[in-house]
């Protein structure tokens, strides 16, 4: 009899205690402040990195020789703004580079110049694959020259929108890891634009002499990778490959960028960039300036690094 009375009372008390604890837990969760750095639920994410490197030297009566004066200034910006909601995503990246060097013997020259905008829309198929559309625009800000080793007159080699590359591709995006993206497009339209009159008349960058543009249709792939090697060292890399179905598809155009950043403090870092370009249509090299070559650009510097 006693057990029959006590057991229901015990069950009721346990139920009341459970509900009380549940209410207290819910109240505590409501009062918890979300970390401001947590952006996991944000539809839009944006940020970027700005670097500025400056070096200067001056010599006077220096027996070992060298330029009496030199100064170099290199700036770079990589910014992104990305959208993610449900199965739809839209990633946008803008890269700007500009470098300048001035020495007493050769005068002012640019040593880095780039405008590169990449936009990619995707619709998720599963955890790693998406249907994607990609748009890419590349050019430079200012005129560039080839300086003959014999000290002859500089030869104009580039200008704003000369060349410019516009690319539109349909394909799939594969993300096997968080910071690795591989876009594959078997159907890609590519336009090479040469707006400068002098370069257009020469038929530079593969366009017909006097023409302003060249249309290409082919296959395209871009591989993007970003990783923190440790707390101080980060790497950002991109490899673009394009094969033109309409003309010499075996000659694959290659554009590769690499950036290493070694953080010294919150705003100071050492950076190293290595760019590799090969395009059979860029025939500005050799004794007669009519042959393609692997283009290599390497810049190392120490200076300001700001994360935005």
User: What is the domain-level CATH number for residue 162?
Assistant: 2.40.160
Among 77, 70, 80, 117, which residue's Cα sits nearest to residue 98? Answer: 77
Residue 267 lies in a domain: yes
206-222, pLDDT tens digit by residue? Answer: 999 999 999 999 999 99
201 confidence band (pLDDT: 50, 70, 90): very high
Band of pLDDT at residue 64, cut at 50, 70 and 90: low
Longest Cα–Cα distance in the chain: 114
Confidence at 291, pLDDT banded by 50, 70, 90: confident
User: Is 153 among the domain residues?
Assistant: yes
Identify whether 302 is part of a domain. yes
- Which two three-digit tokens encode residue 31? 């009062």
Cβ–Cβ < 8 Å for 243, 216 = no
Q: Is residue 31 part of a domain?
A: no
Count of CB atoms within 10 A of residue 80's CB?
Answer: 16
pLDDT per residue as tens digits for the range 271-288: 999 999 999 999 888 777
Report pLDDT digits (tens) over 79-99: 999 999 999 999 999 999 999
* Structural domain includes residue 221: yes
Q: How many domains are there within the chain? A: 1
Mean pLDDT (the chain) is 86
Is pTM beyond 0.75? Reply is yes
Range of the domain at 172: 76-90+113-307
Q: Where are the beta strands (DSSP E) in 60-179?
A: 69-85, 88-103, 107-124, 129-139, 144-146, 155-158, 164-177
Find, among 113, 108, 111, 110, the residue nearest to 97 by Cα.
Answer: 113
In terms of Cα–Cα distance, which of 148, 255, 164 is closest to 206? 164
pLDDT (mean) for 104-114: 87
Asked if residue 105 is part of any domain, the answer here is no
């Amino acid at each position: 009899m006693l057990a029959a009375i006590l057991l229901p009372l015990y069950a009721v008390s346990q139920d009341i205690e459970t509900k009380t604890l549940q209410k207290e837990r819910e109240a505590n969760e409501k009062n918890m402040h979300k970390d401001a750095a947590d952006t996991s639920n944000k539809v839009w994410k944006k940020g970027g990195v700005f670097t500025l490197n400056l070096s200067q030297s001056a010599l006077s009566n220096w027996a070992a020789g060298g330029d009496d004066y030199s100064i170099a200034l290199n700036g770079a910006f990589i910014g992104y703004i990305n959208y993610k909601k449900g199965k739809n995503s839209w990633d946008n990246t803008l890269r700007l580079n500009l470098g300048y060097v001035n020495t007493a013997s050769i005068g002012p020259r640019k040593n880095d110049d780039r405008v590169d905008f990449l936009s990619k829309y995707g619709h998720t198929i599963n955890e790693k694959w998406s249907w994607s559309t990609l748009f890419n625009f590349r050019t430079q800000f200012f005129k560039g020259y080839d300086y003959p080793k014999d000290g002859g007159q500089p030869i104009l080699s580039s200008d704003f929108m000369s060349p410019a590359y516009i690319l539109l591709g349909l394909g799939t995006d594969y993300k096997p890891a968080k910071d690795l993206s591989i876009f594959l497009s078997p159907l890609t339209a590519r336009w090479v634009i040469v707006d400068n009159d002098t370069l257009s008349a020469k038929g530079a960058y593969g366009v017909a002499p006097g023409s302003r543009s060249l249309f290409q249709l082919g296959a395209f792939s871009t591989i993007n990778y970003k990783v923190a090697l440790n707390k101080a060292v980060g790497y950002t890399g991109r490899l673009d490959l394009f094969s033109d179905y309409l003309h010499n598809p075996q000659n694959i155009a290659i554009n590769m960028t690499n950036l290493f950043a070694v953080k010294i403090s919150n705003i100071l870092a050492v950076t190293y960039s290595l760019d590799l370009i090969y395009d059979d249509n860029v025939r500005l090299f050799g004794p007669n300036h009519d042959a393609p070559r692997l283009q290599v650009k390497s810049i190392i510097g120490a200076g300001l690094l700001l994360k935005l």
